[in-house]
Amino acid sequence: MTTQLTRPLEGALRGSGGASAGRRRRPLSLGAVVPYLPVAVIMLVYLFPLGFLLNTALKSNAEFFANPNGIAQTFEFGNFPTAWEKGNFGAYMLNSVLYTSVAAFLGTVCSLLLGFPVSRGYLRHTRLWYGLFVAMLFLPNTLVTQFQLVLRLNLYDTQLGYILIMAAGVGVGPLLVSGYVKSIPRELDEAAALDGVGYWRFVFLFLPHLIKPVLTTVFLLQAIGVWNDIILPTILLPDQAKYPATLGLFAFQGTYTSEWSLLAAATIIVAGPLLVAYVFLQRYLVASVVGAAVKG
């Protein structure tokens, strides 16, 4: 009796295993592979320079000059602490973290304060505001005007002056915020108002939780611009003690032009924090784009 009951079960398991094996043995069709080819090409274009830079940083200087394009044979991890110490990147990185975090935060707040009321129609002439947001993307960087402004405000060669100038460059932030806010029901604003929640309390305490993905995107885009900037620090921060990491890398390049391995290690040191930040925040970037596209 037990044998009769177990035979159908064994047959079912055998059939399930055979079906699984059949699925595993199914050959890949050309139509399933072709959509991944552009992705692979784009990944190669972006990852190859980074891989080449890392390979150079792991070589000794003698090995680099002997075979610049070859794979590193002896991994010289000591290039990173050597470059860090010789380039004084500890102080420069602290400056960059200060400039980037504060300027990106202020820029994100400005984007929120501009994008939300325009998206909701709480300001007049919303089309004019949208036109201004788009125009800001195409206006050239007025270095002379910015320099004169900082100079006349007695903020030249100060960290505060540089931070304020960088925070003012909101870029695409207001457009992103206003587009994403449209996916948030207006009834939430009305319900908060009926509960006695004021405008500023709603904007700073309730709204950020609802639009966290787009605020993270704006913050990251702003942070990338501040962290990678080298022109404005050159003009506004002549004091070397206030240099960001990019200017520190520029000075390091001038001193160690022939030390290509150390220069590659220093470049990775400067670019590393942004890569790490992107790895941890990329899900918010995808959520902000997909959320605005699906709900908007």
HEC letters along 115-168:
HHHHHHCCCCCHHHHHHHHHHHHHCCCCHHHHHHHHHHCCCCCCHHHHHHHHHH
DSSP 39: H
Give mean pLDDT, residues 268-277: 86
Report the alpha-carbon distance of residue 195 to residue 188 in Å, rounded. Answer: 11
pLDDT exceeds cutoff 50 at 150:
yes
pLDDT tens per residue across span 45-67: 888 888 888 998 998 888 888 88
* Pairwise CA distance, residues 138 & 126, whole Å: 19
Contact 166, 99 (CB under 8 A): yes
Of 3.40.50.720, 3.90.1150.10, 1.10.10.60, 1.10.3720.10, the CATH number of 85-295 is 1.10.3720.10
Q: Decide which of 73 and 209 is more confident.
A: 209
- CA-based radius of gyration for the chain: 27
What does the pLDDT look like over 136-148, one tens digit per residue? 788 777 788 888 9
Check pLDDT > 80 for residue 26: no
Q: What is the mean pLDDT of residues 175-203?
A: 88
Angle, vertex CA 47, rays to CA 284 and CA 65, nearest 5: 145
Report whether pLDDT(4) > 90. Answer: no
pLDDT at position 266 over 80: yes
Q: What is the pLDDT of residues 187-197, one digit of tens each?
A: 888 888 888 88
| 20, pLDDT greater than 60 | no
The confidence score (pLDDT) of residue 9 equals 46
**pLDDT at position 5, please?**
47
Compute the mean pLDDT over every residue in the chain, rounded to the nearest whole number: 83
Scan for tokens 């002056």, then name that residue: 161
Q: Tell me how far apart the alpha carbons of residues 69 and 56 are, in angstroms, rounded to a whole number.
A: 8
8 A C-beta contact, residue 224 and residue 275 = no
Report domain extents, the chain: 2-66, 85-295
pLDDT-derived band at 243, boundaries 50, 70, 90: very high
pTM, entire model: 0.79
91-114 per-position pLDDT tens digit: 999 999 999 999 999 999 999 999
